[in-house]
Each structure stands twice: as C-alpha cells, then as structure tokens.
C-alpha cells in the first residue's frame, strides 16, 4: 500500500461510497471525528453508512491528515 493511499479523488470516493469528499468531511466533523479514536470513526462509517472497511479507513485517515 502506498503511503498516500488517502489521497483520493471525488470520483473514486463517489464510486465506492456514493458521496463526495466534502460530504464525508461534513459528516465526520459533525460526528466529532477529530476527537475520537480512528477505529471508532471507521466503525461509525461502516455501521451508520455501510462504507466498506477499506474506504472507511481511507476517509478516516484522510480526515485526520487534513485536520491536523
């Protein structure tokens, strides 16, 4: 896996999750993801939005990198 696997495009994310990156950023902000453990955020995306594990991890990591 390459080091920047979280550097994804809107098109990739839309294809796999049905939402744009900006939508996921809003969802994760509202959830308070910046103050939660990454595994809890991944679990939230999987259970509440049926995001596949790989994409839940990718979105969580991307959000973390963008909000540090």
Let me know if residue 18 belongs to a domain.
yes
pLDDT at position 32, please? Answer: 97
pLDDT at position 1, please? Answer: 46
Quote the CA–CA distance of 20 and 22 in Å, as a whole number: 5
Let me know if residue 1 belongs to a domain.
no
Q: Are 48 and 27 in contact (CB under 8 A)?
A: no
Let me know if residue 52 belongs to a domain.
yes
pLDDT at position 35, please? Answer: 96
pLDDT at position 2, please? Answer: 55
pLDDT at position 18, please? Answer: 96
Quote the CA–CA distance of 28 and 11 in Å, as a whole number: 19
The pTM is what? 0.90
Residues of the chain short of pLDDT 50, as ranges, are 1
Let me know if residue 2 belongs to a domain.
no
Domain count, the chain: 1
For 49, the domain range is 10-66
């Amino acid at each position: 896996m390459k080091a920047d696997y979280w550097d994804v495009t809107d098109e990739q994310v839309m294809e796999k999750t049905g939402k744009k990156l900006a939508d996921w950023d809003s969802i994760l902000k509202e959830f308070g993801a910046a103050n939660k453990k990454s595994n809890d955020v991944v679990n939230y995306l999987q259970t509440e939005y049926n995001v596949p594990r790989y994409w839940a991890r990718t979105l969580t990591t991307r959000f973390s990198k963008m909000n540090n």
